[in-house]
Amino acid sequence: MTIDDYERAPTVAVEDRQPALPEELRKLWETKPGFLGWLSSVDHKEIGIRYIITAFAFLIAGGVEALIFRLQLAGPNLHLLTPEQYDQLFTTHGMTMIFLYAGPVLTGFSNYLWPLLLGARDMALPRLNALSYWIYLCAGIFLYAAFAFGFGPNDGWFNYVPYAARAYNNGPNIDFYSLGMILLGISTTVGSTNFIVTFLRLRAPGMSINRVPILVWGTLTAAAANIFAIPAVSLAFFLLWMDRNLGTHFFDVPTGGQPLLWQHLFWMFGHPWVYAIVLPAMGMVSDGLPVFCRRPLVGYTVVALATVATMVLGFGVWVHHMFATGLPSVSLSFFSAASIIIAVPSAVGVFAWIATIWTGKPILTTAFLFFANFIVLFTIGGVSGYMTGSVPVDWQLTDTYFVVAHLHYVLIGINVFPVVGAVYFWFPKFTGRMMDERLGRWNFWTMFIGFNVGFFPMHISGLLGMPRRVYTYADGMGWDWLNLITTAGSYLFAIGVLMFLINVVRSYRNGPPAGDNPWDAPTLEWATSSPPPPYNFVVIPTVQSRHPLWEDRLGGETPGHSYVHAGLVLDHGRETVGTSPLDAEPDIILRMPKDSFAPLILSLTLTAIFIALAFNIWWLAIVGGLATGADIIFWLWPERGLGETAEPATNG
Amino acid sequence: MASRIALDGKLPVGAIDTRASGWWAMIFVVFTEASLFAYLLFSYFYLAVQPHLAGTFPQGGPPSLALALPNTAILLLSSVAIGWAQFNIERDDNRRLCWGLGIGAVLGMIFLVIQYFEWAQKPFTLASSSYGSLYFTVTGFHMAHVVVGVIMLWMLFAWSAMGYFNRVRYAHIHIGALYWHFVDAVWLAVFFTFYITPLLGMGS
């Protein structure tokens, strides 16, 4: 085995009869031990776990911010916080939860799970994967460093002009927010590209697109939406930064600008983003819930199509955030209709999940409780969203606590509950240990009761006219006891989250061993060991159905027989098989990159540019730009080992 | 080893034609960049249809085509040169590959020089009005893409001259060319928006 040619006849083998193969693959794929190995790793599992842990750190930060300002709002006329402190706290809370937690945590799960679900050895572009994590981390630190120095964003997470303009907001707060969001947008774009390419090229042989798990559909849809939507918000923030720093006139009226341009650009991104941070979570439920109902998901095809349809419609509803801005009534009618129609594909999932429980034999694990009650919360959040899709109702409720209630039912109900359920479900795979079910029940009920006690009264305070974003309120408005209940509920919810964190730490240390497939689940990630080896699968599986591990019991419902422990060997270096986009016919042996420092260095040089722009240090921006360019050239230099140059690929 | 069976058919190994992962990634880079320009042009049209004093949008009347039209032709010719380079590497003609890449890169640089003169003769600045802000921001975004593209073409030229590519291994060339064709194509949208629509009555 010295030199491979440009093409090769791959070998196939049965896993059990290759005792030396696992060790051979481990040597090829394992990240070097130690800190330097950690910094250079491109293993999707490592990156996925980092994403999840970092996102939870931001969830805790954002949660603590909320607990502080809920104290301020517990009663009328309280002055725990100054108005400026309150503005920064609630804006940073929104920014953190929406941008630094809700999106990245789902990216983390998908990063970890995708190659395992698809029967691949890594993501299609492993170094880009590392890059997207490092930029995310840098952007999060960048935004939080500004907050720590008292320069956090202070204009609400959607940052409307003119209040965000220099004339009304003179500090550097909005500059940091703008630049941090552009940096974060790069990370999201990079990650989304990687998901799409992985979906199109790295599915196991035979895994045609109608056989991928729904989580894959959810994340794919979100990633595709990000590709088209992220440029809108990055551009909006860049134009705002130029208005504030270079004297341009995009958003100020006297010289021909228009404040509503901000709202259009922001919500053209913002509404698709809302779906991007819930569709993958719905996918996790669509895959996890049926396992505890002991049957396949009802209506796989319609759920997959509804996922895509929701997103397509989601690009045509952004104006429902702007009903009160004085747009022409024909525009309001169109966007109101679109916002109401979107309830149809959204409801498809609800009926599919209910039917799955109804016709299954539910096992009431903690994960099941989180997944099943997500349906309840999603329905409540969906109905309040449907209500505000109607223009006259929206005129009454916009900028009140009703909207706050709606968005928390949607984001906590459809993101946090499925995510916590997903941790209970996949923790055994991540760590090889089970989580504590008893503490899990306490965890679930505390969170569920705390959440509803905390957020349901907000509907009522909104209907009673309480505006959002006020730092305090007068007594005698009928809002006092509702706010007290909300604050009490939010603390109960926080205790529930704390129980979850305690359960994670305790189970990680002392949980009972899980085995490969503790839930007797049907998809490929459960076919490998827990935690999975660096190479994921000893041989590449061949897939003939949606439920490769349930084929014996589903009998005639599956078209053929999958092979999970017999298949392509691919041990001439880091390799995985590339397959055709629709039918997953093998068409290439892909050479995968080794661990590399290039992603880390690139994210540091990029961050240097953004720091330079924040402080207007132009020489540093130029140096950062040159270093970034040099790093990219180094990264893309054609490599023999990756089969990019005229000499044949070697094993080296 | 004995229990392994070699399959009958062979599969290519490494980064091959449109099966290279990087080629797929570049398609989505192009999609996201195209979206960026779509939002930039949306911003232009959105502000163009707002009420303006006569002669302020476009400031100084419709912009002159004297430099922009030939410059458009130069950029399109550079795409032809790159296409010719792609055609030749598939026939294993490394010398013509280098020529194609070099000519494409030089045409890109000429485009940048002419754009500099176009910018220099504008009577307004980035900060003088919303039109000036839009004009320099959108054309500036495009120029930044051309700069990245020209650097990329010179790197591909250098790698080609070093003999890195042949008629099987040319994924880098096709990936880079895809980006360059996009940069040229999107200029047509920018050109049409800024130079042609005012002649058709857009703005005031």
Q: Is residue A131 part of a domain?
A: yes
Smallest CA–CA distance from B130 into chain A, residue: A249
- Min Cα–Cα distance to chain A from B183, Å: 16
Q: Is the pLDDT of residue A59 over 50?
A: yes
Question: What are the residues facing A579 on neighbouring strands?
Answer: A586
d(CA B108, CA B150): 6
**Cα torsion for A368, A372, A374, A375, to the nearest 10°?**
160
pLDDT range class, residue A559, cuts 50, 70, 90: low
What ipTM was predicted for this assembly?
0.96
3-state secondary structure of A403: helix
CB contact under 8 A, B130 and A193: no
Mean pLDDT, range A543-571, rounded to an integer: 86
d(CA B73, CA A134): 41
Q: What digits encode the pLDDT tens for the residues A154-185?
A: 999 999 999 999 999 999 999 999 999 999 99
Find the DSSP H helices in B3-67.
Answer: 21-48
d(CA A553, CA B124): 74
Cis before A638? omega within 30:
no
Cβ-Cβ contacts under 8 Å, B15 against chain A: 591, 642-644
- CATH code of the domain in which A356 resides: 1.20.210.10
Cβ-Cβ contacts under 8 Å, B14 against chain A: 6, 589-591, 642-644, 649
Closest listed residue to residue A157, CA positions, set A206, A203, A89, A212: A89
Cβ-Cβ contacts under 8 Å, B28 against chain A: 192-193, 196-197, 227
Q: Is residue A610 part of a domain?
A: no
Cβ-Cβ contacts under 8 Å, A128 against chain B: 25
Q: Is residue A561 part of a domain?
A: no
Q: Is residue A287 part of a domain?
A: yes
Cβ-Cβ contacts under 8 Å, A242 against chain B: 126, 133, 137
Lowest average pLDDT, out of A316-325, A595-604, B195-204, goes to B195-204
What's the DSSP call for residue A555?
G
- Min Cα–Cα distance to chain A from B14, Å: 4
Q: How many CB atoms lie within 10 A of CB A162?
A: 17
d(CA A630, CA A637): 11
Owning domain of residue A405: 38-510
User: B49: which 2 tokens?
Assistant: 């249809």
Question: What are the residues facing A589 on neighbouring strands?
Answer: A577, B13
Provide the b/e sequence for A606-617 (b: ≥16 CB within 10 Å): bbbbbbbbbeee
Mean pLDDT, range A346-364, rounded to an integer: 97
Optimal mutation site among B4, B7, B10, B13, interface A, most CBs of chain A within 10 A:
B13
pTM score above 0.90: yes
Q: What digits encode the pLDDT tens for the residues A473-506?
A: 999 999 999 999 999 999 999 999 999 999 999 9
CB contact under 8 A, A249 and B129: yes
CB contact under 8 A, B47 and A197: no
Which pLDDT score, from 0 to 100, does residue A555 have?
73
d(CA A611, CA A138): 11
Closest listed residue to residue B141, CA positions, set B39, B31, B23, B69: B39
Task: Give B 134-193 residues with CB within 8 A of chain A.
Answer: 134, 137, 151, 155, 159, 163-166, 168-169, 171-172
Cβ-Cβ contacts under 8 Å, B149 against chain A: none
Q: Is the pLDDT of residue A601 over 60?
A: yes
Which pLDDT score, from 0 to 100, does residue B51 have?
87
Closest listed residue to residue B199, CA positions, set B65, B87, B35: B65
Closest listed residue to residue A646, CA positions, set B68, B89, B183: B89
Q: What digits encode the pLDDT tens for the residues A216-274?
A: 999 999 999 999 999 999 999 999 999 999 999 999 988 889 999 999 999 999 999 99
Cβ-Cβ contacts under 8 Å, A258 against chain B: 46-47, 50, 130
Optimal mutation site among B10, B30, B39, B59, interface A, most CBs of chain A within 10 A:
B39
Cα distances from B184 to residues A143, A308, B45, B145, B191, in angstroms, run 36, 32, 21, 10, 11
Q: What digits encode the pLDDT tens for the residues B41-71?
A: 999 999 999 988 888 899 888 999 999 999 9
Find the DSSP H helices in A41-172.
Answer: 44-73, 83-95, 103-118, 126-148
Side-chain-side CA neighbours of residue A41 (13 Å): 21
- Min Cα–Cα distance to chain B from A331, Å: 15
Cα distances from A556 to residues A294, A299, A435, A440, A545, in angstroms, run 17, 17, 35, 37, 11
CB contact under 8 A, A265 and B39: yes
Closest listed residue to residue B25, CA positions, set B190, B178, B183, B196: B178
Q: Does B6 touch chain A (CB under 8 A)?
A: yes
Which pLDDT score, from 0 to 100, does residue A73 have?
97
What's the DSSP call for residue B59?
B
Which pLDDT score, from 0 to 100, does residue A557 have?
59
Least CB–CB distance from A646: residue in B31, B127, B169: B169
Q: For domain B20-45+68-196, which CATH number applies: 1.20.120.80, 1.10.1060.10, 3.40.50.300, 3.30.565.10?
A: 1.20.120.80
Q: How far apart are the first and last CA of chain A?
A: 11
Least CB–CB distance from A11: residue in B4, B13, B134: B4
Q: Does B19 touch chain A (CB under 8 A)?
A: yes
Least CB–CB distance from A644: residue in B15, B33, B134: B15
Least CB–CB distance from A591: residue in B4, B13, B52: B13
The angle, 0 to 180 degrees and rounded to 10, between the axes of the packed helices A214-245 and A300-314 is: 10
Cis before A213? omega within 30:
no
Side chain identity at A267, as an amino acid letter?
W
Q: How many CB atoms lie within 10 A of CB A509?
A: 9
Q: What digits encode the pLDDT tens for the residues A206-220?
A: 999 999 999 999 999
Provide the b/e sequence for A278-306 (b: ≥16 CB within 10 Å): bbbbbbbbbbbbbbbbebbbbbbeebbeb
The whole-chain average pLDDT of chain A stands at 95
CB contact under 8 A, B21 and A255: no
Handedness of CA A443, A446, A450, A456 (dihedral sign): positive
- Min Cα–Cα distance to chain A from B38, Å: 9
| Number of domains composing chain A | 1
